[in-house]
Amino acid sequence: MNPAPVIAVVGPSGVGKDSVMAALAARDPRIRLVRRVITRRSEAGGEPFEGVSEEEFARRIAAGSFVLHWSAHGLRYGIPAAITDLRRDARAVLVNLSRSVLAEAEHAFGNFAVISLTARPELLAARLAARGREDEAQRTQRLSRAALSLPDGLSRVIEIDNSGSLDDTVDAILSQLQPERA
Ligand SMILES: Nc1ncnc2c1ncn2[C@@H]1O[C@H](COP(=O)(O)OP(=O)(O)OP(=O)(O)O)[C@@H](O)[C@H]1O
Ligand SMILES: O=P(O)(O)OC[C@H]1O[C@H](OP(=O)(O)O)[C@H](O)[C@@H]1O
């Protein structure tokens, strides 16, 4: 069987990427999530991730442990090579990516689609404040990247508005994914 598609979930900070990914995996156990490696304290909360030091992150790059890595918000993020195993027995593998690495990701994964989440601007600020993981200066810095556009040339981009309920968003995404390994 061909490897399952990798579906990048992208969009501005606070739009709901991690929430939508968790809700999709809860709805369909064959939708699998990638656990990212991040140079952030493991206790920070939010998504399940592996927190490592800068030194450990650099060691893993040198060892070829990542299929993709990038920097944003003063942090480093890596997608472990183990994503290849996840793709063997899944309907789709979801991964939270920076919009800045999408062209590289399409090249690396081949069978690749992008779910670009949007939400009304006032909701982004309110959701980040309610989540409480960052202080006000960090939230302002994150919101300043909200309008970053996607690169040209991606083969498959599905834009979904997450201004409403999570359930509505999950329904909208699943109806668009039906043709893929349903
Ligand atoms: N549809 C929704 N309705 C109401 N609240 C939502 C919805 N989606 C997400 N949220 C809330 O918004 C906050 C931000 O969501 P989440 O952490 O999933 O966003 P994110 O896009 O992953 O952000 P970041 O890139 O900063 O990690 C969370 O507190 C989450 O509970
Ligand atoms: O703004 P862009 O480059 O699209 O995304 C930058 C980074 O911000 C988010 O990280 P986090 O989940 O908030 O730590 C994304 O997942 C990405 O890693």
Using CA positions, which residue lies closest to atom 17 of ligand 2? 98
* First and final C-alpha spacing in the chain: 14
131 lines ligand 1 (CB under 6 A): yes
pLDDT of residue 47: 86
Cα–Cα dist 74/122, whole Å? 24
Q: What is the pLDDT of residues 135-166, one digit of tens each?
A: 999 999 999 999 999 999 999 999 999 999 99
**Looking at this predicted complex, what is its ipTM?**
0.94
70 sits in which H/E element: strand 66-72
| Residue in the block written with tokens 């709901």 | 16
Q: What is the spatial distance between Cα 93 and Cα 5, in angstroms, rounded to a whole number?
A: 6
The CA 76 to ligand 2 mean position distance, Å, reads: 10
Q: Which amino acid residue places its CA nearest to atom 4 of ligand 1?
A: 165
Could you identify the residue written with the tokens 């592996």? 50
> How does pLDDT run across 87-105, given as a tens digit for each residue?
998 999 999 999 999 999 9
Higher-pLDDT residue of 44 and 129 is 129
Q: Is the CB of 162 under 6 A from ligand 1?
A: yes
pTM for this predicted structure:
0.94
The ligand 1 atom at the shortest distance from the C-alpha of residue 11 is 21
Domain-wise residue ranges, the chain = 6-177
Provide the mean pLDDT of the chain.
Answer: 94
Instruction: Work out the average pLDDT over 109-135.
Output: 95
Q: Quickly state the pLDDT bin for 120 (edges 50, 70, 90).
A: very high
Is the pLDDT assigned to residue 179 strictly greater than 90? no
**Predicted local confidence at residue 2, as pLDDT:** 87
Sign of CA dihedral 52, 57, 63, 65: positive
pLDDT confidence of residue 182:
46
Query: CATH top-level class for 6-177?
Result: alpha beta
pLDDT surpassing 80 at residue 82: yes
Nearest to 115, CA basis, from 2, 3, 23: 23
